[in-house]
């Protein structure tokens, strides 16, 4: 698949940088975004990063994100955010939770939104479900189907305790692809990688290629 992925808002300490409380929305949205992109690319998907880092205002940030998104032909636009408004910095023992927005219930992105919110909720967050908001510009003005993910609440101690950028990113990737990402094991010093350069029905062709490879300094052998 082909995705546009972006973190919402400007970077921290700039205008329109998002919610700031126990954690910072802009910082964590970028942490999640970077990991989502990395995992999707390792799974073989094409991903465009449409994050804006130099907006002059909230409107300018949105304008630049939407312009970047619409410059690419993709299957899905994904906007990554963090919520606020729980006002539970001490923690009351209950998660305020995660939710995903779509332009309409009939939008082509609704299935992805449902899968993503369910996957994040399995990490322990309250599942606030899929919500419709046709006024959100990244949903309304992007050409491709789009979802806006509110990973969790920055001002809820219980959400922050549950939160891990890598785990949330893996949940998002699973929701988008149906595949649970597993980190490849690093190669050890004794690992060998075999390269096959040909397969022939006639033995003489195999012998000729073997001789050519040996003449060029390669260690070649024939197997059946």
Pairing of strands 146-153, 98-102: antiparallel
| Per-residue pLDDT at 199 | 79
Q: Convert the pLDDT of each residue in 53-65 to its tens digit.
A: 999 999 999 999 9
* Burial 95-120, CB ≥16 within 10 A → b, else e: bbbbbbbbbeeebebbebbbbbbbbb
Task: Name the residue among 77, 74, 65, 82 with its Cα closest to residue 120.
Answer: 82
Q: Convert the pLDDT of each residue in 5-56 to its tens digit.
A: 999 999 999 999 999 999 999 999 999 999 999 999 999 999 999 999 999 9
CB of 168 closer than 8 Å to CB of 123: yes
Question: Residue 193 above 80 pLDDT?
Answer: no
Q: Report d(CA 163, CA 2) in Å as an integer.
A: 27
Question: Residue 129 above 90 pLDDT?
Answer: yes
Q: Convert the pLDDT of each residue in 153-181 to its tens digit.
A: 999 999 999 999 999 999 999 999 999 99
What is the model's pTM?
Answer: 0.83
CATH number assigned to the domain covering 2-177: 3.40.630.40
| Per-residue pLDDT at 106 | 87
Q: Convert the pLDDT of each residue in 77-121 to its tens digit.
A: 999 999 999 999 999 999 999 999 999 988 899 999 999 999 999
Average pLDDT, the chain: 93
Q: Convert the pLDDT of each residue in 65-81 to its tens digit.
A: 999 999 999 999 999 99
Bridge partners for 6 per DSSP: 79
Percent of the chain with pLDDT over 90: 79
Under the banding of pLDDT at 50, 70 and 90, the label for residue 147 is very high
Could you state, in order of their start, the residue ranges of all structural domains in the chain?
2-177, 194-224
Q: Report d(CA 53, CA 50) in Å as an integer.
A: 10
| Per-residue pLDDT at 224 | 67
């Amino acid at each position: 698949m082909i995705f546009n992925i972006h973190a919402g808002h400007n970077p921290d300490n700039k205008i329109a940088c998002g919610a700031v409380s126990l954690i910072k929305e802009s910082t964590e949205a970028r942490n999640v975004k970077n990991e989502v992109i990395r995992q999707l690319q390792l799974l073989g998907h094409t991903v465009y990063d449409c994050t804006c880092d130099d907006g002059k205002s909230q409107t300018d940030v949105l304008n630049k994100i939407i312009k970047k998104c619409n410059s690419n032909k993709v299957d899905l636009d994904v906007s990554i955010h963090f919520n606020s408004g729980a006002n539970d910095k001490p923690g009351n023992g209950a998660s305020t939770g995660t939710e995903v927005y779509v332009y309409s219930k009939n939008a082509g992105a609704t299935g992805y939104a449902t899968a993503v919110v369910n996957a994040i909720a399995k990490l322990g967050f309250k599942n606030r479900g899929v919500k419709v908001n046709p006024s959100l510009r990244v949903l309304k003005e992007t050409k491709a189907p789009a979802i806006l993910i509110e990973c969790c609440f920055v001002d809820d101690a219980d959400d922050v305790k549950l939160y891990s950028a890598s785990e949330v990113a893996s949940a998002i990737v699973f929701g988008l692809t149906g595949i649970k990402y597993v980190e490849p094991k690093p190669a050890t010093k004794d690992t060998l990688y075999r390269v096959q350069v040909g397969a022939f029905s006639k033995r003489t062709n195999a012998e000729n290629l073997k001789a050519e490879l040996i003449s060029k300094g390669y260690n070649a052998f024939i197997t059946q």
